[in-house]
Amino acid sequence: MIIGQIKDGIVLDHITAGKSMDIYNVLKLGKLDCSVAMIQNATSVKMGKKDIIKIGTLLDINLDVLGYIDPGITVNIIRDGKVAKRHHLWLPERVVGVIKCRNPRCITSTEVNAVHEFRLADKEKKLYRCIYCEHKAERK
């Protein structure tokens, strides 16, 4: 399989096998007017299998969202066919507007304009809690 080189764009590498479609949907990549290549279950020395997404344009991506979905992702910014910048993602300390609090008594359930914000409560368990009511976020 041959997928062409990107002149200017973004390569999301080291995605846990099977998670690329979640990222594709969250970033709304299907609505872009550019080439998007998704490779699933590619052979990887480090991971065994991995997914890769290549985006044929430069766009603003919320790295905290990607870090929450899959903390091991590497984000490569490509300019003129070369890696200009590389980000290794980790679990973010806080996540804003990504997770919705499921507690019906939380202020975010009653206030229309309240922003859903969660903080990392336990790094080992990858557990996030709502900053308003301490309700834990259910990770899929």
The predicted-structure confidence for 18-67, as pLDDT tens digits, reads as follows: 999 999 998 999 999 999 999 999 998 888 999 999 999 999 988 998 99
Cα–Cα distance for residue pair 115/74, rounded to 1 Å: 28
Domains of the chain: 9-88 (3.30.70.140), 94-130 (no CATH)
> Predicted confidence band at 133 (pLDDT cuts at 50, 70, 90)?
very high
> What is the SS3 assignment for 26?
helix
**pLDDT score at 6:** 86
**pLDDT score at 67:** 92
And the tokens for 12? 């999301």
Cα–Cα distance for residue pair 116/94, rounded to 1 Å: 11
pLDDT in tens, 69-119: 999 999 999 999 999 999 999 999 999 988 899 999 999 988 989 999 999
Strands 74-79 and 48-55 come out as unpaired
